[in-house]
Chains A and B, each alone.
Chain A
Amino acid sequence: MCRTTDLRQAVLARNDDSAQALRAELTARGAIAVNMLSSPGSGKTALLESELALARERGVPVAALTADLATENDAKRLARAGVPVRQVLTDGLCHIEAVMLRGYVAGWLPARTQLLFVENVGNLVCPAAYDLGESLRVTLVSVTEGEDKPLKYPGAFGLANLVVLTKTDIAAAVGFDQETFLGNVARVNPGVEVVFTSARSGQGIGVLLERALAVRDGAEVHRPVMTRTATHDHAHSATGHRSPSLTIQHHGHGHDHDHGDHTHAHDQQSPPAPASAAPHPDHDALPHSHRYDHPTVDRW
Chain B
Amino acid sequence: MNWLTNTLWSSVGKKLMMAVTGIGFSVFLVAHLAGNLTLYAGKDAFNAYAEHVHSLGPFLTIAELGLLFFAVVHIATGATLFYQNFKARPVRYSVNSRAGGRTIGSATMPYTGLVLLLFVIFHLANFHFADKTNTTIFQIVASAFLKPEYVFIYVVAMIIAAIHVSHGFWSAFQTIGANHPKYMPYIKGASILLSLVVGIGFGCLPIYVALMT
A pairs with B:
no
| Chain A residues within 8 Å of B, Cβ to Cβ | none
Interface residues, chain B, with chain A CB atoms under 8 Å away: none
